[in-house]
Structure 1
C-alpha cells in the first residue's frame, strides 16, 4: 500500500469498525439505550460511538482522499494526518471507555486527546485549502464544516470542564445546545452537501449544469447554523431557533433542487445504487424537514420536547447523515481500493473493472432494508413502544451489519 493511500484507509477502516461496534452493542441491549434517555453514560457512549466512531471517522477519511481530487494537489502534511489519526482514535476510544465506567477524570483526559486530534485536522485542512486557493462551493463548504467541527469540540471541552468544576452553572445547557447544533447541522450538514456537488456529477457523468444554487445553499446553511448556535448560546427565544431551522430547510430544498438539475444533465443513466439511494434519501429528508417546520410553526417550544428531539435526532443522524455515508461508501470504498490496487494495471489482461468489486444489486437491497428498518425504529419512538423499538432496532442493526460487511469485503477483491 503506498504511503499516500494509507491515511484515508486508516480512517475508513476504523470507521467501519466503529459502525460494527455500535450495532453489535445495540443488538446486545435490544436498542434499549434509546428508551433510557440520551443524556446519561449509556446514551453518551452510543451517541459518541455513532457520531464520532463511525460517521466522523469515515468522513475524515473521505475528506483526506476527496480533497486531493477536488484540489488536484496533496494535503499540506501527511505526517500531521497520521498524528491526527492516532490522537483522535486513542482519545475517542478512551473517551468511550470513560463513559462506560463513569469516570470523569478518564473522560476529561481522553476527550482532550481527541480534541487535540481535531485541532491537528483543522490546521492541516486550513493550510491545505489556503495554499491551494481554489475557492468554490465544495471547498467553501468543506472549510466551513471543518471550522464547525472545531467549535463543536471546543464547546464539548467546555462542557467537560463544567462537569469537573461546575464553573458555568446553568450556562451548561447553552453549551450543550450549541455543541449539538454545530456538530450535527454544521459539521455533517455542510460536509455532506459540499461533497455531493463533487460525487453526483462524477458518477452521473453530468456536464453543463448551473452551479449558482450551490452557493445559495452554502450561504443559507451557514446563516442557519450560526443563528441557531447564537440562539442556544445566548438563550434567545425559541422563535429564533425556529427561524434558523426555516433558513436551513430553505437551504435543504435548494440543495435538493440542484441535485435534480445535476441528474437532468447526466450522461450516465445508472450512477450506481449508492448515488441513486442517496438521491431518494435526500428527498425524503427534505420532506420530513418541511413537515417538521410546519408542525413547529404554531409552537416552536415543541422543538425542545424530549420526544421531539429524539425523533428529530434519529431522522437526522441515522436517517440522513449515516444513510448518506453508507450510500457514498458504496462508491468511495471501491473507487479508493481499485485505484490503489489496480490503478497501474489498467488495460492488462485479467485486471478487474471497478464494478467487479461490489455487487450493486446486493448493495441496493441492503440500502433498501436499512431505509425500511430505520423508519420502523422511528415509528417505535413515535409510539413510545419499547417492543417496536427493540424489534425494529435489532432488525436495523442486523441489516446494517450485513451491508457494511458487503462494503468491507471490497478490500478482499
Structure 2
C-alpha cells in the first residue's frame, strides 16, 4: 500500500507570525527596567512607557493573534484556508507599521504615531476582511465561532480611537483614552481569551463530554462590559449616582462571568481523557488564572474608583497574563504545525517524535520559570509603592527593576530558541 504524501507545500504562515512576534517582545521586555519606576508612580504617558506598551501589544500580542487567526479559523471551524499571498503583504506591513507607531511614541512625534496607526488600521481591516470571508464559510459554526466577531470589531474601534487621539481631533481627552484602554484590554484581549479558551483548552487537554455554560458566560461577560461603558457615559453626562450604580452592576456581572468561566474550565479539565496535563498547558492555565484574578480586581477598582491600583493590576494583566499565555500556546501550536508540514501522511512520520516532545523541555521550563520570576520581581516595585516603602532598602528597589527586565528578556530569547529548534526536527522536507 502506497503512503499518501502531504499536500502541504509550505510551512504554515502562523509559524512566521509567532516567531516574528517574539522578536518584538525581546525589545519590549528589555525596557521593563526603565518603565517600572514610572508605572509604580502612576506615569504611563512618558515616551518610553507608551513605546513599551504598544511594542508589546501591537508588535508581540497582535502579531501572534493575527497568526493564530490565519490558521486557527480554518482548522477549528472547518473553514476554507486563507491564501498564502496574504502572508506576503500583511505581515511585513503590520510589523513595519507597529515599529513606526511605537517609535513615534518613543520620539514623541504624534504625526509619526498617526501615520503608523493609519497603515496599521488599513492593513488590519484588509486582513480581517480576508479572515472573515473564510470565517463566514465555516461549516462548524459553534457559539465560539460567533463569539469571536465582537472582539474582532473591537480591535478596529480601538485602533480608530488611537489614531483619533494621535491626530488631536476634537473630543480627544481622558474619556477617549479610557475607552481606548477599556475596549482593548477587556473587549478585545480578555474577550478573545475567554472565547478561544472554550476551543483551545478542550483541544489541547483532549476533553470530551463535559457540560458547561459557555453561551451564558460569554453573553454575561460582554453584557457586563456594555453596562460599564453605558454607566461611564451616564456618570460623565448625566446623574452621577445613576452612572455609578450602572457601573457597579456591570462590574458585579463581570465578576460573575469570570467565576462562571472558571467553573467551566474546571469542568473541561475534569473531562480530559489523558491523566496528566502537559507543561505548556499548565503554564497557560496559570496565565489564564492570573488574567481572571487581575480582571476581577480591575472590575472592583473600576466599581469603587480606586485608580491608584490600576497600574499594578495592568502590569500583572499584561506581563503576568497575556504575554506568558501566548508563550505557552506557542509551545503547542508550532510543534503541531511543523508536524503537519513535515511528517503528516509521510512514510517517515513513524520516526517523528511526539508533538509534546518537540520543544526542548529544559529550555521551555527554564524560560517560563525565569519569565515568571522576572514578573514577580517587577511586582516588588508596586508593593513598595503601595506599602509606602516600609522596610525595603533602597538598593533592593534599584536592583529589582533592571533584573526583572533582564530575566524576562532572557526567558523570551530562550523560548524563541526552543521554538526555532522545532523547525529543524526531521531535517528539510523531502520533495514529493
User: Do residues 244 (structure 1) and 250 (structure 2) align?
Assistant: yes
Q: Go from structure 1 to structure 2 and tell me whether the alpha carbon gap of 1:261 and 1:364 turns closer, same or farther (over 3 Å shift).
A: farther
2: distance between equivalents of 1:99 and 1:5?
A: 35
**Compared CA separation, residues 98 and 287, structure 1 to 2 (3 A):** closer
Aligned length: 401
- C-alpha distance in 2 between matches for 1:148 and 1:296: 20
Is the counterpart of residue 402 in structure 1 residue 409 in structure 2? no
Shift of 1:292: 5.6
Higher Cα Rg, which structure:
2
> Offset at 1:105?
2.0
Provide the rounded CA distance (Å) in 2 between the counterparts of 1:98 and 1:294. 34
Q: What are the Cα deviations for residues 244-302 of structure 1, in whole angstroms up to 9, with x where unaligned?
A: 333222222111111111111111122311112222333344345445655776xx121
Partner of 1:56: 62
Per-residue deviation at 1:2?
5.2
Given candidates 301, 305, 308, the residue that maps to 1:301 is 305
CA distance, structure 1, for counterparts of residue 227 and residue 233 of structure 2? 10
Does the 8 A contact of 2:78 with 2:139 survive in 1? no
Shift of 1:134: 3.9
- Equivalent residue, structure 1, for 2:170: 167
Q: In the aligned structure 2, how far is the partner of 1:407 from the partner of 1:287?
A: 29
> What per-residue deviation string (whole Å, max 9, x for no partner) do you get for residues 341-372 of structure 1?
22243654533332331133542343234234
Q: Which stretch of structure 1 is more off in the superposition, 338-347 or 309-318? A: 338-347
Aligned to 1:10: 16
* 8 Å CA contact retained: 2:51, 2:102: yes
User: Which residue number corresponds to residue 227 of structure 1?
Assistant: 227
Q: Give the alignment's TM-score, normalised by structure 2.
A: 0.84
Determine if contact 1:275/1:328 at 8 Å carries over to the other structure: yes
* 1:205–1:230 distance in 2 versus 1, CA, 3 Å: same
TM-score by length of 1: 0.87
Alpha-carbon deviation of 1:331? Answer: 0.8
Are the equivalent residues in 1 in contact too, given 2:20–2:63 (CA < 8 A)?
yes
Matched residue, 1:217: 217
Q: Which residue of 1 aligns with 2:162?
A: 156
Structure 1 runs (4+) greater than 6 angstroms displaced: none
* Distance change in 2, residues 1:155/1:3 (3 Å): farther
Distance 1:292 1:98, change over 3 A: closer
Look up the match of 1:90: 96
After TM superposition, the structure 1 = structure 2 runs for residues 6-405 of structure 1, keeping only pairs within 5 Å, are 6-26=12-32, 29=34, 31=36, 34-35=39-40, 37-75=43-81, 77-80=83-86, 82-132=88-138, 134-162=140-168, 166-168=169-171, 171-211=172-212, 213-232=213-232, 236=236, 237-290=243-296, 300-302=304-306, 305=307, 307-345=308-346, 348=349, 350-384=351-385, 386-387=397-398, 388-405=400-417
SS in structure 1 at match of 2:80? coil
Given the superposition, is the C-alpha separation of residues 398 and 10 from structure 1 closer, same or farther in structure 2, using an over 3 Å criterion? closer
Displacement after TM superposition at 1:229 (Å): 3.5
In proportion to residue count, which structure has more helix?
Answer: 1
d(CA) in 2 for partners of 1:366, 1:23: 13
Per-residue CA deviation, residues 184-212 of structure 1 (Å, 9 max, x unaligned), is 1111112212222222222221111124x
Identify which range, 95-104 or 242-251, moves more after superposition.
Answer: 242-251
State the Cα deviation string for residues 78-136 of structure 1 (Å, max 9, x = none): 54454332332221111122222222222211210011112113322322222326432
Matched-pair contact (CA < 8 Å) for 1:19–1:53: yes
Give 5+ residue unaligned stretches, structure 2.
1-6, 237-242, 390-396, 426-432
Unmatched tracts of structure 1, length 5 or more: none
Contact 2:13 2:70 in 1 (8 A): yes
